[in-house]
Structure 1
């Protein structure tokens, strides 16, 4: 591989780490700054209206996943990413003026267009296109690990800004939103000058009819549904992690301050470690699905133990260790499942459509899982947590089955002349 091509991959990877860590901050800002953001928007006492902002964003996302996949297969990913970063940042600067509720609603709907329609499938396809057939897992794993590092840095900056101006919530939130928006716009501008062209031969469709045909191919390909199953499992496992700290506090009796520290560092550090190991293992093993199988087994065993071991002060330490292990397993799936798309020989002009369909199915838990768990916890606090662990175990079992089937199919595909020709062309 030439030095220029290799440096282009590294630059693209860094820019994608920055973009993925900023583009979704603003739509989900209420998750980390609920009260101060509500006050800045002038929505104190209007929790229902406040919540609707995220609801309309989520609904628009679901609608736009599939057309977003078609667009990713029609246009050069670089152009879509540049538009997404600058567009999302510009909308953020508009939000920072704290306009009327109607305008805030319009901004959130517009964010769905810039973060999903033109960004989500294009961002995944970008890595798919620049990575060789033998480095898909290591590239996606490195992306996820790098996101962990960049996420820690950016979070520290945003928290520092908020803390400095926290006496005035509106001003503090304005500076946080403006800083994030400016970073996004700068990343978009950097993409213009630094990111190499991501439109390789055969990666895009020429017209609408070709895009429709690509969508039809994606619907008929097993990889679409295998990927959706792996995303579904990891999606529920990710949501389930948010219940680990409350379980330690309410059932095991851990000090509240300690649970806050645990919650903040467990996910961040485990994601960084898990994704880094995944990147190394995928390269070492030669395919991504094999290590996902190991992670799936480990995750299931950890949730079985959490169900069987009664929560108490006496069992707190072993439960803590098991929780850390389970949190290490989930990012392995998130770091590697997109690599399977290429490893199963999916044509580049179909990748976006595969990701769009798989995303709308795989991320369905976002629409119901936390409210379902919340209802169970209200009805039976202790039993509710067991319900969380059981559903996480079942979801990861689905992910494991899909990873296992993918692994068999990858091994079968690698015996074909098509795969051998692809590898030969990559080595040229």
Structure 2
């Protein structure tokens, strides 16, 4: 970064990343209080989140088109204003249809407008050799921002006369912050579209067809998708700890902040260090995280649901969070390590991204159907046993795919390591 303005812009943009997605993913910290605050059932809220995930998956493809045709500052500001408006609209408790519409709007704003524009601007703030640090610290600052505001939110919810009122107040705070950040971005970022390089590598039919034929699209996209299954269901551990192991709601909020946000900015750099210094390969490291995640959910399957064992459940959840977030910080580095041809890379990333985040389109609704209403101590469709069983299968499949990836890369690198023939 060349000067003070670039540094301030970088910090401001990183902070927006810690705010804009918080209401869309508030279930990771406050699952039950949120759907009660919005006057929804657990199943209705799960369906809303699945629709949000499905729209978001489609918007990842559309994002490249927007980013290549419109100024990034305008896209970021519009996305922040739109998300802020949706957040504030939710505080009116608009009913199922209104909540669904607000989340669709957040998916369009966040994934089609905001994220690709953010990546363009962040990339333009430094030279090629600085990209790793730029995006690494982007994730760290997002995590610090989310942790600080999430901690305040936990206090709001725990100190409110009713948790539902506290959640609505917190959603309103996020909405106001989005609007304020939009104004700051407009004036601080300046006219960066003049020196922000245009996006390249549009997703033509030929590029997509080549990506479909590339084995790494399915090996890497599939393995990331299976690890993302663990990530997208972490929010459902809160009612488990509360209703099955007897932890209080205030403590649940703090645990949710630590599990979701603290691990975000701590575990990502740790994962990068492990890849660089220990395994020397992202897929090899992911194989270890999949093995650790499988052990955790398998132990949850056999752990008796007794209040005296709350410490064991909490420890398993934190170890699982470490596996999820250390892998989350590095798994896209597998694309570079796979040596995918440059002309195919955009297509592979696009298809793999749509595949990777697909669990958001069905797992929230499915998890809600399995678990039912934990507060009534009923689980008509298998409960947490079904959830942990499914995650165990997902982890084993992920272990298989990532092992196949390691073997494929080993075969492709073997000719380079073979000694040259003697003349």
TM-score by length of 1: 0.72
C-alpha distance in structure 2 between counterparts of 1:357 and 1:264, whole Å: 31
The answer to whether structure 1 residue 90 and structure 2 residue 81 are counterparts is yes
Specify the alignment match of 1:266 in structure 2: 259
Specify the alignment match of 1:317 in structure 2: 311
The answer to whether structure 1 residue 151 and structure 2 residue 146 are counterparts is yes
Instruction: Give the conservation status (yes or no) of the 8 Å contact 1:230–1:399.
Output: yes
Q: Could you tell me how far 1:330 is from its partner in structure 2? A: 0.5
Instruction: Give the conservation status (yes or no) of the 8 Å contact 1:249–1:256.
Output: yes
Instruction: Give the conservation status (yes or no) of the 8 Å contact 1:234–1:330.
Output: yes
Instruction: Give the conservation status (yes or no) of the 8 Å contact 1:64–1:117.
Output: yes
Specify the alignment match of 1:180 in structure 2: 178
Change (3 A) 1:87 1:262: same
Change (3 A) 1:264 1:345: same
Pairing of 1:207-246 with structure 2 (within 5 A): 211-246=204-239
Specify the alignment match of 2:322 in structure 1: 328
Task: State the Cα deviation string for residues 158-214 of structure 1 (Å, max 9, x = none).
Answer: 6789999999999986554122222144246544467995638xx614xx7x73332
Query: Of the candidates 98, 105, 110, which is equivalent to residue 115 of structure 1?
Result: 110
Q: Look up the SS of the partner of 1:23 in the other structure.
A: coil
Instruction: Give the conservation status (yes or no) of the 8 Å contact 2:233–2:367.
Output: no
Q: Look up the SS of the partner of 2:305 in the other structure.
A: coil
Specify the alignment match of 2:291 in structure 1: 297
Q: Look up the SS of the partner of 2:329 in the other structure.
A: helix
Task: State the Cα deviation string for residues 78-115 of structure 1 (Å, max 9, x = none).
Answer: x44x3331111232465548799999987655544332
Task: State the Cα deviation string for residues 28-65 of structure 1 (Å, max 9, x = none).
Answer: 568859989998xxx87999999987676545334333
Specify the alignment match of 2:353 in structure 1: 359
Q: Could you tell me how far 1:20 is from its partner in structure 2? A: 2.6
Change (3 A) 1:171 1:66: closer
C-alpha distance in structure 1 between counterparts of 2:243 and 2:35, whole Å: 28
Change (3 A) 1:13 1:382: farther
C-alpha distance in structure 1 between counterparts of 2:411 and 2:194, whole Å: 33
Change (3 A) 1:99 1:390: closer
C-alpha distance in structure 1 between counterparts of 2:98 and 2:139, whole Å: 34
C-alpha distance in structure 2 between counterparts of 1:254 and 1:162, whole Å: 15
C-alpha distance in structure 2 between counterparts of 1:84 and 1:53, whole Å: 25
C-alpha distance in structure 1 between counterparts of 2:382 and 2:126, whole Å: 45
Query: Of the candidates 258, 282, 285, which is equivalent to residue 275 of structure 2?
Result: 282
Instruction: Give the conservation status (yes or no) of the 8 Å contact 1:144–1:272.
Output: yes
Change (3 A) 1:49 1:91: farther
The answer to whether structure 1 residue 204 and structure 2 residue 200 are counterparts is yes
* Aligned residues: CA RMSD: 4.7
Q: Could you tell me how far 1:237 is from its partner in structure 2? A: 0.7
TM-score by length of 2: 0.72
Instruction: Give the conservation status (yes or no) of the 8 Å contact 1:65–1:359.
Output: yes
Specify the alignment match of 1:425 in structure 2: none
Specify the alignment match of 1:422 in structure 2: none
Query: Of the candidates 12, 20, 25, which is equivalent to residue 23 of structure 1?
Result: 20
Q: Could you tell me how far 1:331 is from its partner in structure 2? A: 0.7
Q: Could you tell me how far 1:391 is from its partner in structure 2? A: 1.7
Q: Look up the SS of the partner of 1:336 in the other structure.
A: coil
Pairing of 1:163-174 with structure 2 (within 5 A): none
Instruction: Give the conservation status (yes or no) of the 8 Å contact 1:11–1:195.
Output: no
Specify the alignment match of 1:252 in structure 2: 245
Pairing of 1:381-396 with structure 2 (within 5 A): 384-396=383-395
C-alpha distance in structure 2 between counterparts of 1:137 and 1:125, whole Å: 14
C-alpha distance in structure 2 between counterparts of 1:48 and 1:305, whole Å: 27
Q: Number of aligned pairs?
A: 401
Q: Look up the SS of the partner of 2:76 in the other structure.
A: helix
Q: Could you tell me how far 1:316 is from its partner in structure 2? A: 3.4
Change (3 A) 1:356 1:190: farther
Specify the alignment match of 1:400 in structure 2: 399
Query: Which of 102-111 and 88-97 deviates more?
Result: 102-111
Specify the alignment match of 1:420 in structure 2: none
Q: Look up the SS of the partner of 1:242 in the other structure.
A: helix
C-alpha distance in structure 1 between counterparts of 2:111 and 2:133, whole Å: 25
C-alpha distance in structure 1 between counterparts of 2:93 and 2:379, whole Å: 42
